[in-house]
Homo-oligomer: A and B are copies of this chain.
Amino acid sequence: MTTLRMPAEWERHSATVMIFPERPGSWCNGGAAAKKAFAEIVKAVSAGERVYVAVSPSAYEEAKNAFAREIESGKVELWNYACNDSWARDTAPTFVYSDGKLSGVDWSFNAWGGDYNGLYRDYAADDAFAGFCCSRLSLGHIDAKPFVLEGGSVHSNGAGVLITTEECLLSRGRNPSLTKSEIELGLKKFLGAERVIWLPWGVEDDETDGHVDNICAFCSENSVLLGWGGTKSQLKRCKSNLKVLKKAKIKVIKLPFPAKPVRFTAEELSGFTYEEGEITRSAEDNLAASYVNFYICNAGVIVPQFGDKNDRKAVRILSKAFRGKKIIPIYSRDIIVGGGNIHCLTQQIPE
């Protein structure tokens, strides 16, 4: 039998995969603000490992100029591939060791819900991106299709334990014909999980149907950072999650959400261009801002900042949770405007 292991994010990386922000329905006003934040993230990650940035032929020159120095020094490498959107966490492969060999798991990707509640209709290039990555990297390719999963919906402690959310994995837009235990079997089969901890809920208003990577993340083999607080109904969700984690004997460190809700500005709202069948944005939308969407890379732990009074508190808590790691705060409001955050933009390739 094949032995599979999904490493923890803090294990040493050989590189990180990212995707240049281009989609006009996600990145308003030509992505100008998002591209600045994106470049800051790329540069922070590339201080400790190579960053592969997939970019469409149309934006190739722009990306080449944006990362000219990093490309010259070999820290950044551009990949010619036109994705539908930029969430490498969800469209790049999930990397595992398969009998000791680094391989990419290639899930079905259906834009977070397909015909049921997907965010856009034409996601075929995104769906093919994991296969492209395996080919580009000359790695093993584990074909998990037609099993639908996004990388942002699972976290691994590196030792056989996964956390995920029922809200997302049991949503009707993913694998409606599979039962919860069949889905758990899929996680065992493709990620080598020995134990799956099912949190009931993600963050309210999260377009991903509650990805775990916005609500709860391992910081060691046996402890997690758990998003905590928010609205009354969000707090209720957090409490249900806490109950499950306690029962699973996982140590919980609470991480507050930003104190003030993040909403679109009028200028942002007028700067989106949508495809047919794409979800549109409105002034009432709450953006699913969360400090849990940090990214652990060789250079340190990159933490989203929103210009909120809890920004510093989040940095302090993470400093304690990741002793010895550098904490790198990056202002990423212009990324959450696109629907996700720093963790969603990145996918680590273990060494």
Find chain B residues with CB under 8 A from A135 CB. 108, 123-124, 127-128
Q: Copies of this chain, how many?
A: 2
Given contacts A57-B57, A122-B80, A129-B128, contact A145 B141 (CB under 8 A): yes
Find chain B residues with CB under 8 A from A80 CB. 82, 84, 122, 125
Find chain B residues with CB under 8 A from A79 CB. 124
Find chain B residues with CB under 8 A from A123 CB. 135
Find chain B residues with CB under 8 A from A82 CB. 56-57, 80-82
A114 to chain B, nearest CB (A): 10
Closest to A59 in B: B57
Residue A58 is within 8 A (CB to CB) of chain B in the complex:
yes
Find chain B residues with CB under 8 A from A141 CB. 143, 145-146
Residue A272 is within 8 A (CB to CB) of chain B in the complex:
no
In the bound assembly, the distance between CA atoms of A57 and B108 in angstroms comes to 23
In the bound assembly, the distance between CA atoms of A108 and B138 in angstroms comes to 11
A81-B124, A131-B132 known, 9 other contacts, Cβ within 8 Å: A56-B56, A57-B57, A57-B58, A57-B82, A124-B132, A125-B132, A127-B132, A127-B135, A143-B143
Residue A136 is within 8 A (CB to CB) of chain B in the complex:
yes
Q: Which of A116-154 contact B (CB under 8 A)?
A: 122-125, 127-129, 131-132, 135-136, 141, 143, 145-146
Q: Which of A271-301 contact B (CB under 8 A)?
A: none
Q: Which of A62-89 contact B (CB under 8 A)?
A: 79-82, 84
Find chain B residues with CB under 8 A from A129 CB. 128
Q: Which of A82-125 contact B (CB under 8 A)?
A: 82, 84, 106, 108, 122-125
In the bound assembly, the distance between CA atoms of A119 and B249 in angstroms comes to 56
A87 to chain B, nearest CB (A): 16
Closest to A106 in B: B131
